[in-house]
Amino acid sequence: MDDIAQIRAFNRFYTRQIGVLDASHLKTRFSLGEARIIYEVATRGMTNAADLARSLSLDPAYVSRTLARLKDEGLFTLAQSASDKRQTDISVTEAGNAAFKALDAGSNTVVADLLAGIDPMRRAAMVAAMETIRSIMGDAMPAPPLVLRPHRIGELGWLVHRQGLLYHQQFGWNIEFEALIAGLYRDFEKMPASPPKDLWIAERQNAVVGSVYVTPSDGREGTAQLRMLYVEPEARGLGIGGMLVNQAVSFARENGYRRMRLWTQSVLTAARKIYAAHGFAMVESNPHHSFGKDLIGEYWEREL
């Protein structure tokens, strides 16, 4: 099925789920269009017909007719704007606010019922997918809070799966890379607590969007190793990679390490920029054939 057919199929499915096709919205006397206009006026506090038509991509004549009808029903007040005599300010009456609250509560109930049968992990994935759709299509959203936390049961395996898939999609690396990092995460978990080690998950809206970990560097006393920095594609450009590296550097310094070391590849340009911005410099490079590709491996270090 091509992209257009997939999107149309999703639209048909989702509109059925949330009752958009019902003759009246949420079993009220309002149509979906009327309910949306009530919502916009109530949440904005004060607006005008031109702004409503523009922001909702609706025909101005339709908006004007709907506003007049809802005014006649006692839901809105219309008054000439004090700042622009050509505009009419619109606000909700007490009855309009009551209608808004009833519609809002009904919408919350519909969505709660929709989510009730979905387990928390799949729910988080669904919400994250919705956020991704809005972001890709240019809907301005407030940035959700980012949390750095320890890993939980199931997440080491998930990190192996996710990074193996992402590096294959982006760089064409084969399953050798997935096997390598599976061993790295296993080794991390088996290491003793001393010398200090730690792993951080970057989480946003209950979804994993990045990770990094630190261990002692093999055979290099006083040196910490930074490993497996990654950020989800839809979360790149938000400073998450820099935040993770900064956390790793701070941890190493606070735990008595004197320097930090990492291994990367020349093709990982975004990661290399982050390392350079945090004081790392390349100290060694060598070509090698790994993960099905000819690569140039690089060691970077910084003093702490």
Task: List the structure tokens of 137.
Answer: 């299509």
The 10s digit of each residue's pLDDT in 166-204 is: 999 999 999 999 999 999 999 999 999 999 999 999 998
The 10s digit of each residue's pLDDT in 247-257 is: 999 999 999 99
pTM score above 0.85: no
Nearest to 46 by CA among 15, 72, 78: 78
May I ask the CATH class of domain 3-117? mainly alpha
Question: Distance between terminal CA atoms of the chain?
Answer: 54
Fold identical between 3-117 and 146-303? no
pLDDT at 21: 64
Instruction: With H, G, I as helix, E, B as strand and everything else as coil, classify residue 23.
Output: coil
Residue 190 neighbours by CB under 8 Å, 6+ apart: none
Domain boundaries, the chain: 3-117, 146-303
For range 234-246, the mean pLDDT: 90
May I ask the CATH class of domain 146-303? alpha beta
The highest-confidence range among 18-32, 74-88, 139-153, by mean pLDDT, is: 139-153
Q: Are strands 223-231 and 207-216 parallel, antiparallel or unpaired?
A: antiparallel
